[in-house]
Amino acid sequence: TRVLVLNGPNLGRLGIREPDVYGTTTLADLAELCRAEGERLGLDAEVRQTDGEAELIGWVHEAADGRLPVVLNPAAFTHYSYGLRDALAQLTAPLVEVHISNPAAREEFRHTSVVAGVATGTIAGFGVNSYVLALRAVADLLARER
Ligand code: DQA
């Protein structure tokens, strides 16, 4: 099964960006981690990153049309993009929201997720391992559907 692992703005700068908050793993390392875990789980994890809201929404439409499960780190869009939320509401397969940090333990503006209400569930605060846990959640959900 194909799974889209989508990443929002500034996540292309993982590894150099605020390493005290986000760690030193790069996006390339993260992509490799996801592909390896996916393989273990029988999932074909396709990892993408964009700084653009329109591009991200386009990928969500692609997932909606293909009935594909999505693991999504919406990054800053989490906190204010109703356009992204409306796109995500169209998904029929599992959607797992992921965060590297724990937004609930950070600034007030990060305490709101406009995405959480349309996600199957959220995994946050486990560093890049949040993605591994999210892929396991997707595999588990898909296994239960059968
Ligand atoms: C983030 C948390 C967001 O608040 C922030 O804007 C990000 C990354 C995370 O993975 O911890 O860019 O989604």
Q: What percent of the chain has pLDDT over 70?
A: 100
Q: Among candidates 9, 15, 43, 19, which has minimal Cα distance to 29? A: 15
- The DSSP secondary structure of 3-21, one letter per residue, reads EEEEE-TTGGGTTTS-HHH
Q: Catalytic residue positions?
A: 22, 99
Pocket test for ligand 1, best of 6, 16, 99 (most atoms within 8 A of CB): 99
Amino acid 97 reads E
Structure tokens at 139: 């595999």
Question: Binding-site residues for substrate, please?
Answer: 73, 79, 86, 100-101, 110
The full set of domain ranges for the chain reads 2-145
Structure tokens at 12: 């292309």
Token pair 């393989």 is found at 39
Our answer on whether the CB atom of 1 is closer than 6 Å to any ligand 1 atom is no
Judge whether residue 145 has pLDDT over 90.
no
Angle (CA) 93-32-53 rounded to 5° is: 55
3-class SS of residue 100 = coil
Our answer on whether the CB atom of 7 is closer than 6 Å to any ligand 1 atom is no
Q: Indicate whether this model's pTM tops 0.95.
A: yes
> What is the CATH number assigned to the segment(s) 2-145?
3.40.50.9100
Our answer on whether the CB atom of 71 is closer than 6 Å to any ligand 1 atom is no
pLDDT in tens, 56-78: 999 999 999 999 999 999 999 99
